[in-house]
Homo-oligomer: A and B are copies of this chain.
Amino acid sequence: MTESEKPNWRPMWKELGIDMEKHDQLLSVLPDVFKEIYIDAQKNRPEAIGFWDFVVGDIHGIRVNELKKAKDEGKKVVGTFCLYVPDEIIFALGAIGVGLCGGTNFSNYAAEDVLPANICALIKSAIGFGIGNICPYYAMTDILIGETTCDGKKKAWEVLSDYKPIYVMETPQCKSRPQAREHFITELKALIKKLEEVTGNKLTVENLKAAMEKISKKRAQMRRIYEARKANPPPISGKDALLMSQVAFYDDPDREIEMVGKLADELEQRIKDGVGVGDKKAKRILISGTPMAIPNWKMHHIIEKNGAIVVAEETCTGTRYFDAEFPEIKGDSINDLLELIADRYLNINCACFTPNDTRLLDIKQLVNEYKVDGVVLYTLSFCQAYDIEAVAFEKILKKEGIPVISITTDYSSEDVSQLTTRIEAFLEML
């Protein structure tokens, strides 16, 4: 679709109260950035990735319009900021879940008045997009669902509550205890009560089971992409796989099942045909740490520009998003199903929990399974949880002979040349 073929979304954005001047600025920058990082810097991409190029090219268009249509039909749009808020429940109640994390400092100006300087880039970006009225997805939401995963987010909800209806789900802090599971289930029930009020729908065994099956299918397709990345050479770049994952947070799950499935088909065929991106000898990198919200492609770009390939991400926009799964979706009551949901979500190893030594096991397993040459521990500045884990994990991985580098950064481009130098040196060492 060329620019001239695109529908005119401006009336829709205006209706949503979008700050058109700022929004125009944003949309005038993004295509160039995308072209540089995704189109010009890559070759031999799978054909099916065209869907994601299209999605970025129309980032605030078709999907927003779909949400608008759904709302016109009485559906509710629910904004989330963390994978611990179960999409299964949102979709079961006939609502649409949309991940709203921000991945660019473009929106920071709008958050500067309500946030201190030393704050996580992801939170600052998301708040800026929200209160600056530059994100149509945010504008489309009827309610935001926060959680209590980290200090910055706990306070972010208080800031956002001045602008939007928001409900906070309490996520447990010590995930492996029986009482954490119990408390999480209690909180899931409170969330259901809230979302039943918002949607006017009632959760049933049937609609919950159906939503669990759908979201599971989406995760299964994403898992296929990651499985394919184990091949040498990988049939897809880390950058493209990351984009696939980023879009999965807000796209329609049915379309995701279809499009990610098609991409996976192609990648599996590529492996059979011995087709890959890059060199067989390219160094294979695992990135582990904080999430990378769209359009945060900085780290992947630096690594892949320098000849290595990111083969997996142990992040919320990576394996944490789809790895844990229901053993089987069965149960005669909502309670049975909520136990499955609780167990699935409490099986995700985020640094917001203590202890979280299981995350280190995940990293080691990925290093083995993906034949990783080096690990990049990636932390957004001021994220104390991942920052402290990185110090510990770096030492342990080094001791076990696994090459590792710890990078703390944000969304600015100021440190790109410094990071490039460090990554170059790291890759040479492998």
Which of A116, A120, A150, A387 has the most CB atoms of chain B within a 10 A radius of its CB? A116
Query: What are 8 A-B interface contacts by the 8 Å CB criterion?
Result: A115-B388, A116-B390, A118-B382, A118-B387, A148-B354, A158-B355, A158-B357, A179-B183
Let me know if A199 is at the binding interface, CB within 8 A: no
A353-379 vs B, Cβ < 8 Å mask (1 yes, 0 no) = 111110000000000000000000001
Q: Are B151 and A389 in contact (CB under 8 A)?
A: no
Indicate if the CB atoms of A114 and B148 lie closer than 8 Å: no
CB distance from A415 to the nearest CB of B (A): 14
Is B392 in contact with A158, judged by CB distance below 8 angstroms? yes
A269 on the B face (CB < 8 A)? no
> Which of A32-40, A134-142, A167-175 lines the interface with chain B?
A167-175
Interface flag for A248 (CB, 8 Å): no
A174 near B148: Cβ-Cβ < 8 Å: yes
The answer to whether the Cβ of A44 comes within 8 Å of any Cβ in the partner chain is no
Other-chain residue from B155, B168, B186 in contact with A385 (beta carbon distance below 8 A): B155
CA distance A174 to B166 in the complex (A): 14
Cα-based distance from A118 to B117 in the complex (angstroms): 13
Give the docked Cα–Cα distance between A174 and B355 (Å): 21
Chain B residues within an 8 Å CB radius of A148: 173-174, 354
A177 at the interface (CB under 8 A from B): yes
> In the complex the two chains form, what is the Cα distance from A349 to B398 in whole Å?
42
Does the CB pair A179–B186 fall under 8 Å? yes
Structural contact, A158 and B382, CB atoms closer than 8 A: no
Query: Could you tell me which A residues sit within 8 Å of B by CB distance?
Result: 114-116, 118-120, 146, 148, 150-152, 154-159, 161, 168, 170-174, 177, 179-180, 182-183, 186-187, 190, 351-357, 379, 381-385, 387-392, 408
Q: Which 7 A-B pairs have the closest CB atoms?
A: A148-B173, A155-B388, A154-B354, A116-B387, A151-B384, A151-B385, A183-B183
Given known pairs A382-B118, A384-B155, A387-B118, the reply for A174 and B180 (CB within 8 Å) is no
The CB with the most chain B CB atoms within 10 A, among A114, A155, A161, A352, is that of: A155
**Do residues A154 and B385 form an inter-chain contact, with CB atoms below 8 A?**
yes
Bound complex: CA A385 to CA B155 (Å): 6
Q: How distant is the Cα of A388 from the Cα of B120 in the complex, in angstroms? A: 11
The CB with the most chain B CB atoms within 10 A, among A115, A152, A391, is that of A391
Please tell me if the beta carbons of A172 and B170 are within 8 angstroms of each other in the complex.
yes
Bound CA–CA A387/B390 (angstroms): 23
A356 (CB) vs chain B CBs: closest residue: B158
A187–B183 Cα gap in the complex (Å)? 11
Nearest-Cβ distance from residue A381 to partner chain B, whole angstroms: 7
- The interface residues of chain B lying within 8 Å CB-to-CB of A177 are 170, 190
CB-based nearest B residue for A119:
B384
On chain B, the residues within 8 Å of A159 by CB distance are 388, 392
Q: Are A408 and B116 in contact (CB under 8 A)?
A: yes
Asked if residues A158 and B388 are in contact (CB atoms below 8 Å), the reply is yes
Interchain CA distance A388-B162 in the complex, whole Å: 14
Please tell me which one of the listed residues B118, B170, B179 contacts residue A174 in the complex, with CB atoms under 8 A apart: B170
Closest chain B residue, CB of each to CB of A183: B183
The closest CB in chain B to the CB of A351 belongs to B155
